[in-house]
Amino acid sequence: MSNKMWGGRFASGPGAIMEEINVSIDFDKALYRQDIAASKAHADMLAKQGIITADDAKKIAHGLDTILSEITGGKFTFKRALEDIHMNVEGRLSELIGEPSGRLHTARSRNDQVATDFRLWMRDTIDTLDLALAAFQKTLATKALEHAGTVMPGMTHLQTAQPVTFGHHMLAYVEMAARDRGRFADARKRLNESPLGSGALAGTSFDLDRDMTAKALGFDRPGANSLDGVSDRDFALETLAAASIASVHLSRLAEEIVIWTSPLTALVRLSDKFTTGSSIMPQKRNPDAAELVRAKTGRIIGSLSALLIVMKGLPLAYAKDMQEDKEGAMDALSALSLSIAAMDGMIADLEPDAARMKKAAGEGYATATDLADWLVRTLNIPFREAHHITGQIVGKASAGNVALHRLPLADMQAVEPRITDAVFDVLSVDRSVKSRTSYGGTAPKNVKAQAKKWLKKLEKEKA
Ligand code: ARG
């Protein structure tokens, strides 16, 4: 049998392999809600413009409502023979209401239909991700407030650098998540133009009201070029780029959790809820969720590369290649959503070991910069020279295997005779972080203020 939707000029139906490679219902059924909403908007507009009768539009709307409840109620049978979500919905509409169903596709093509549906789906997904990221920010800021004064070793090159606070570290990720949300919001702004009414590629001879359908679907305006409307997928690419960057942020935090929970550092304890055991080694507490968040980044970035490659070199307008936009994007965005949820849960539950963190912060001569700064401030020594003097003092401490604040004053004076015992005031890790009061610095009072600022801002956003 030839295809009911497009089989007019065909004597036989597609071969089995043709059907297998062509079929998209297995994944584009996720677009059912958007597909039905867009069809309802289209039918309403056709009736208002006198292109179909009000009575037909009513029957169509009613039928589409029935289909929606069939799908949400799990009573709808998706048919692979009907290829995609558009033809599955229309096929069922024909069973339900007969002849008027055939009028729905007036002045429309699956090309503008799928471009519309996928934009709507992307927009909904961005909105869900934004809520999840906001919740994650709140969790991070709450942890930050709780640990505004918890000193930990700040690292560069994964070598002890200067003491920071755990709260400050958490707030760094709040800032990253804010920019991630900004990127999604930007993508959303640009994607919010309606392709509906572009037809197959050239527009249509029917007198459409594209503003009406755009408005009904919450778009800001109809897209101004029909070729562009059906053929670009930059909205998906932008969203995937934003998702890739967000997932890289999550992956870095995931890696830090892996490091912090390793017995080699034991700086943080994950809750049982986010830890797994080993089937052979009874002592193990593995950070599997963090490792999986770290790994999901691969498929998220992969889907961006895949779609870039699909689109590269495609001549205008629509080509079936574009059907490959959905599976990867849907998979990537659901992986991101799961990653955010897992990270949110891990951060909410984890407990830093404050004593170990403080001890680790004091190792590795983390307050050497404080000593150099003291030499600059108190003895008016140029920083470069102070750096050199401090290096020599650290060398002595290291040779004697003592912490900087335990090095006898006489040893320091052997390097720089003008040093007094007032220097010991700046050598403790607590004093060090307390002194970092520059805007954006790690001083506990800064961290407290920033955490509160974020919590207030996030609360206000919700209202
Ligand atoms: N399933 C198709 C897609 O996802 C819908 C558009 C089909 N258009 C066509 N001309 N065959 O791209």
Helix 110-146 × helix 85-97 angle, to 10°: 120
36 alpha carbon – ligand 1 mean position (Å): 16
**84 Cβ inside 6 Å of ligand 1:** yes
User: Tokens 């956003």 sit at which residue?
Assistant: 461
Q: What are the tens digits of pLDDT across the range 55-111?
A: 999 999 999 999 999 999 999 999 999 999 999 999 999 999 999 999 999 999 999
Average pLDDT value for residue range 137-143? 98
Mean residue pLDDT of the chain comes to: 95
Question: What sign for the dihedral angle of Cα 4, 5, 9, 15?
Answer: negative
In this structure, what token pair is assigned to residue 219?
């778009």
Q: Would the pLDDT of 278 be above 90?
A: no
Q: Is residue 323 in contact with ligand 1, taking CB distance under 6 Å? A: yes
Q: Percentage of the chain surpassing pLDDT 70?
A: 99
What does 358-405 look like in DSSP terms, one character per residue? HHHHHTT-TTHHHHHHHHHHHH---HHHHHHHHHHHHHHHHHHT--GG
Kindly state the average pLDDT of the residues 405-429. 94
The yes-or-no verdict on residue 327 having pLDDT over 60 is yes
Choosing from 157, 205, 279, 438, which is the catalytic residue?
Answer: 157
Asked whether residue 7 carries a pLDDT value surpassing 80, the answer given is no
Evaluate if residue 2 carries a pLDDT over 80.
no
Mean local confidence (pLDDT), 194-217 = 98
With vertex at residue 369, the alpha carbon angle to CA 454 and CA 402, rounded to the nearest 5 degrees, is 115
The predicted-structure confidence for 163-184, as pLDDT tens digits, reads as follows 999 999 999 999 999 999 999 9
Q: Could you tell me which of 20, 30, 35, 33 has the C-alpha nearest to residue 80? A: 20
Q: Is 278 in the active site?
A: yes
Distance 203 CA to ligand 1 centre (A): 17
| Active-site residue flag, 157 | yes
Global model pTM greater than 0.85:
yes
114 Cβ below 6 A of ligand 1? yes
Question: Can you give the pLDDT at residue 410?
Answer: 95
Q: Looking at 2, 278, 305, 398, which residue is catalytic?
A: 278
| Whether residue 239 has its Cβ less than 6 Å from ligand 1 | no
**Orientation angle between helical segments 32-48 and 85-97, nearest 10 degrees:** 60
The tens digit of pLDDT for each residue in 112-122 reads 999 999 999 99
Q: Running DSSP on this structure, what letter comes out for residue 212?
A: H
CA 356 remoteness from chain centre: 32
The answer to whether the CB of 110 is under 6 A from ligand 1 is yes
The pLDDT of residue 8: 80
pLDDT above 80 for 292: yes
Instruction: Tell how far the Cα of 237 is from the centroid of ligand 1, in angstroms.
Output: 18
Measure Cα distances from 216 to 40, 211, 212, 233 in Å.
9, 8, 6, 22
**CA-CA distance, 322 to 230, in Å (whole number)?**
10
Whether 318 lines ligand 1, by a CB cut-off of 6 Å, is: yes
What's the pLDDT score for residue 4?
A: 65
- Cα–Cα distance, 429 to 369 (Å, whole number): 11
Q: Which tokens in the block code for residue 328?
A: 């990867």
Peptide bond into 236 cis (omega under 30): no
Say if residue 1's pLDDT is above 60.
no
Q: What is the Å distance from ligand 1's center to 118 Cα?
A: 11
* Over residues 211-226, mean pLDDT: 98
Contact assessment for residue 162 and residue 369, using Cβ atoms and an 8 Å cutoff: yes
Tell me the best of 3, 18, 25, 84 to mutate to test the pocket of ligand 1, counting ligand atoms within 8 Å of each CB and taking the most: 84
The position carrying tokens 């970092």 is: 436
Does residue 372 carry a pLDDT above 70? yes
Residue 285 scores a pLDDT above 90:
no
User: Is residue 90 within 6 Å of ligand 1 at its C-beta?
Assistant: no
Neighbours of 346 (CB within 10 A): 24
Joined together, the tokens standing for residue 140 give 């991070």
- Judge whether 447 and 165 are in contact, CB under 8 Å: yes
- The pLDDT tens digits for 235-269 are 999 999 999 999 999 999 999 999 999 999 999 99
